[in-house]
């Protein structure tokens, strides 16, 4: 990790930069070409990319009912039990987010209400590769089901033998998701955007991915399909004071670093001794990790920063707007009260970020790259639309109509005013 001692606030913006990414223009150009290919060739393009990128020769893109049914036999009982418990916790937290229909009279005879309506067809993208994220399927599939989305389409990359990771299939079956497509990367997002012979086009796309998936989601948004958020490489910021346990903090930093070489971890402390101890512990634990090569690459772009006070650390964090924020301090509750920008916050010494990644109940699909300044993480609200309704009685129109007429005339919108005037004339004074 790169070490910085007492940088001035003027130096903070440079320290808050995320790792440099491949040229955005180059990524966008490649993604646009994939979109055009999938639009023109449909399933044939998806099979081509499965062979080129995943090494899989596919005859069928859809996972069969037999494949879904057989998946459970390949998932250990202990893991099945853990997934069921995580699902229960996620359901409890997200189920409590339901909102009742709101109805009220804004003035006598003018009734307004708002009704939550589920997004009708959603696409869930679950990365595969070296770490198939079945936990992300729980985070997206559970609220989609709770919201009542009628159609859920899951895309996930195939392995080289043309199968899908059995844990992902077991989780899909557990959630009642039976439309599972063997497609990954930007090509999966392209298929969900425009549809193919095997892939239904959807109204909104959810799920994390690499820079190509992120660029593809942004392109989908330009083409009229909503997305959950711009989500890039994973990141964590830890605020650790003298009360922090360096062993715990090092483990938290490495839990994000092992996600991928472009992940970023940031450690803030007002104690030089803590920074020294954590840095040493990171190196010790890194040597024990199966994914140490991946984590080591991420650590090259990560930072350990010594600041003067808790207030400085919190100010730096709010500017950085981390996806995950860990408050490794005895005074976490007090510090948390002033957090203004973070995807999800973990308080105290016994609350690892990994708990939120898997099973505490909160959602782990969170804004990265500073988007936590303006975006929330995925929730039940992400899967519903809030539609407003209104109804006006004759008495209500007599009271409200002149207000609308006056405002419309002042804006020069005569047809707006006439739409009210004609109705007032029809009901008489």
φ, ψ of residue 361 in degrees (nearest 5): 130, -30
- Catalytic residue at 324? yes
**In the numeric block, which tokens belong to residue 95?**
């189920």
* Active-site choice (235, 258, 323, 353): 323
Q: Is 360 annotated as a binding residue?
A: no
Contact present, 107 and 55 (Cβ < 8 Å):
no
Q: Is 416 annotated as a binding residue?
A: yes
Q: Which helix H or strand E contains 104, and what residues bound it?
A: strand 102-107
Residue 97 annotated as part of some ligand binding site = no
Residue 411 is assigned to a ligand binding site: yes
User: How far is Cα of residue 122 from the mean position of the Cα atoms in its chain?
Assistant: 14
E strand segments, 307-399: 324-328, 344-347, 384-392
Percent of residues in the chain assigned helix, strand, coil, to nearest 5: 50, 15, 35
d(CA 282, CA 248): 10
- Which residues have C-beta within 8 Å of that of residue 1, sequence separation ≥ 6? 253, 265, 267, 279, 282, 299, 302, 303, 304
Q: Is 357 annotated as a binding residue?
A: yes
Single out the catalytic residue among 258, 281, 301, 324: 324
Q: Is 67 annotated as a binding residue?
A: no
Residue 234 labelled as part of a binding site: yes
**DSSP per-residue letters across 254-312:** HHHHTT-TT-EEEEEES-HHHHHHHHHHHHHHHTT-TTHHHHHHHHHT-EEEE-S-HHH
Q: How far apart are CA 186 and CA 34, in angstroms?
A: 7
Flag whether 379 is marked binding: no
Q: Do residues 370 and 320 lie in contact, with contact meaning Cβ atoms separated by under 8 Å?
A: yes
Q: CB neighbours of 22 closer than 8 A, spacing ≥ 6?
A: 211
Task: Specify the pairing of strand 303-306 against strand 2-5.
Answer: parallel
Which regions of 108-167 does DSSP assign to beta strands (E)? 110-118, 121-125, 151-156
| Backbone φ, ψ for residue 229 (5° rounding) | -175, 165
Cα–Cα distance, 274 to 310 (Å, whole number): 14
Active site residue 323: yes
Rounded (10°) CA dihedral 248, 253, 254, 259: 140
Positions marked active-site: 323-324
Which residues are annotated binding-site positions?
A: 125, 187, 210, 234, 256, 259, 324, 357, 411, 416
Binding residue positions for substrate: 234, 256, 259, 324, 357, 411, 416
Numbered residues of the known binding site for NAD(+)? 125, 187, 210
Q: Provide the annotated binding site for Zn(2+).
A: 256, 259, 357, 416
């Amino acid at each position: 990790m790169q070490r910085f001692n007492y940088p001035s606030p003027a130096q903070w913006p440079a320290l808050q930069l995320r790792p440099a990414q491949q040229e955005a223009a180059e990524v966008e150009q490649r993604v646009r070409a994939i979109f055009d290919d999938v639009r023109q060739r449909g399933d044939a393009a998806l099979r081509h990319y499965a062979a080129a990128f995943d090494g899989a020769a596919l005859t069928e893109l859809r996972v069969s009912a037999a494949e879904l049914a057989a998946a459970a036999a390949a998932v250990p009982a202990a893991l099945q039990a853990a997934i069921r418990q995580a699902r229960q916790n996620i359901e409890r937290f997200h189920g409590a987010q339901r909102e009742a229909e709101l109805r009220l009279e804004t003035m006598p005879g003018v009734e307004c209400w708002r009704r939550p309506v589920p997004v009708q067809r959603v696409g869930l993208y679950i990365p595969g590769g070296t770490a198939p994220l079945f936990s992300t399927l729980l985070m997206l599939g559970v609220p989609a089901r709770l919201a009542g989305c009628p159609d859920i389409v899951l895309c996930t990359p195939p392995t080289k033998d043309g199968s899908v990771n059995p844990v992902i299939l077991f989780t899909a079956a557990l959630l009642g998701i039976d439309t599972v497509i063997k497609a990954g990367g930007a090509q999966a997002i392209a298929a969900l955007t425009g549809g193919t012979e095997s892939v239904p086009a959807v109204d909104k796309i959810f799920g994390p991915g690499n820079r190509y998936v992120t660029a593809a989601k942004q392109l989908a948004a330009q083409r009229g399909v909503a997305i959950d958020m711009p989500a890039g490489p994973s990141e964590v910021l830890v605020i650790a004071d003298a009360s922090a346990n360096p062993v715990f903090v090092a483990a938290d930093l490495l839990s994000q670093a092992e996600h991928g070489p472009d992940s970023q971890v940031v450690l803030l402390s007002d104690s030089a001794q803590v920074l020294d101890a954590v840095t040493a512990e990171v190196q010790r634990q890194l040597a024990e990790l199966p994914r140490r090569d991946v984590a080591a690459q991420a650590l090259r772009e990560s930072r350990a920063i010594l600041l003067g006070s808790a207030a400085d650390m919190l100010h730096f964090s709010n500017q950085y707007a981390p996806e995950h924020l860990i408050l490794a301090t005895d005074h976490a509750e007090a510090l948390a009260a002033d957090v203004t920008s973070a995807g999800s916050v973990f308080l105290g010494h016994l609350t690892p970020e990994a708990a939120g990644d898997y099973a505490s109940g909160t959602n782990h699909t969170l804004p990265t790259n500073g988007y936590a300044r303006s975006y929330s993480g995925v929730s039940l609200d992400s899967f519903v639309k809030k539609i407003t309704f209104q109804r006006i009685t004759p008495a209500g129109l007599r009271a409200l109509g002149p207000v609308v007429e006056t405002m419309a005339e002042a804006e020069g919108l005569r047809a707006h005013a006439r739409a009210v005037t004609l109705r007032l004339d029809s009901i008489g004074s």
